[in-house]
Homo-oligomer: A and B are copies of this chain.
Amino acid sequence: MKLALIGAGRIGKVHAQAIDRNPKVSLAAVADFHPEAAEALASQYGARVLNAEADFEDADIDAVLIASSTPTHAEYLERAAQSGKAVLCEKPIALDLERTRAALAVLADHPVTCALGFNRRHDPQFAALQQVLVEGRIGSLETLSIISRDPAPPPAEYVGASGGLFRDMMIHDFDMARWLLDEPIVQVQAQGSCLIDPAIGEAGDVDTAMVILTTASGRLCHINNSRRACYGYDQRIEAFGSAGMLQAQNETETRLRFTGEAGQVEDKPKWFFLERYAQAYSNEIDDFVDAWQAQRAPLAGAQDGLEALRLAEAAQRSLQERRPVALNDIR
């Protein structure tokens, strides 16, 4: 697969590296709002620089990976689809439901392979956990707990543009919840506080949040988010069912244990998503190429982006209106 990468920033570089390691896909072109960033990345991997505006018609490109800034996602996605290119789009498609739905409508008219960048589904830990659930080894799933904490809060100005904690950060957990609960979520209860950085509160957001999701059959899911964990990236899931409990523990750099006067000490969790999800990004590319070749749906697609956003909208409304919100009310 010959792939054009839109966006040469931090996450674009992660994807470029994963592409480079994958013999089934080659980085053909790189575009960026800052031409010098595109040039630097393109030259590193022997790709050409792409003028994003013009080159979507290029017959020599099979696919587009959208890793540009969030507000540009939907338009690039639509143009890629209209050009008949497969597309892997970083989440979210857009920060509002209307724009997201418009993009989905374009995809409906131009049914290309479309993957959405919910990287955690590709994480080996969580993928293995999901497999155990599917195999029924914990019996019937009853409750799920998802803990997700970033090592350090973003600047308050980022928070303002990000759509807020639910749309920007917890959206990953909403997707996890949907994937693992494996039945419709019907209600969202959210609670949030600003305990870490007052500037985040002044920007109208929270930095600490808890949510309870309820599914159609009564399964309960707890999500626990913090914008700052001094010990690193805390990414754990606990699934509880009629025949047992399954926990995905944090990954660590080494398996060393030091025992001294202060106790028995092991590594703290890996620092952030680049460390923790390196393998997930590789697997994501793999899944994308494979889906394109096999003409099957990728592990996460555009509809998953819409559904996760609906949950984020419901959580935001629940927080503001101080009441549980039925997902049916989020259109």
Question: Which of A's residues lie within 8 Å of B, judged by CB?
Answer: 21, 124-125, 128-129, 132, 137-140, 142-143, 145, 149, 187, 189, 191-196, 208-210, 212, 214, 217-220, 222, 224, 226, 228-231, 234, 240, 242-269, 322-324
Contacts and interface: CB of A to CB of B under 8 A. Distances in A.
A149 B241 CA distance: 12
The 6 closest A-B pairs by CB, nearest first: A193-B218, A244-B260, A249-B255, A245-B259, A264-B266, A247-B257
Given A191-B220, A242-B196, A242-B230, A259 B264 contact: no
Given A191-B214, A249-B255, A264-B266, 9 more contacts: A194-B218, A195-B219, A196-B242, A222-B222, A226-B240, A231-B263, A246-B256, A259-B268, A263-B265
A218 B231 contact: no
Contacts of A323: 322-324
Given A218-B195, A224-B222, A242-B230, A208 B143 contact: yes
A176 to B, nearest CB: 15
Given A132-B256, A189-B189, A222 B210 contact: yes
16 contacts: A129-B256, A189-B212, A193-B218, A195-B217, A210-B212, A230-B261, A231-B264, A244-B258, A246-B258, A252-B264, A259-B269, A262-B265, A263-B267, A265-B265, A323-B323, A323-B324
Given A193-B214, A245-B231, A132 B258 contact: yes
A180 to B, nearest CB: 13
A145 B95 CA distance: 30
A191 B194 contact: no
A181 B286 CA distance: 44
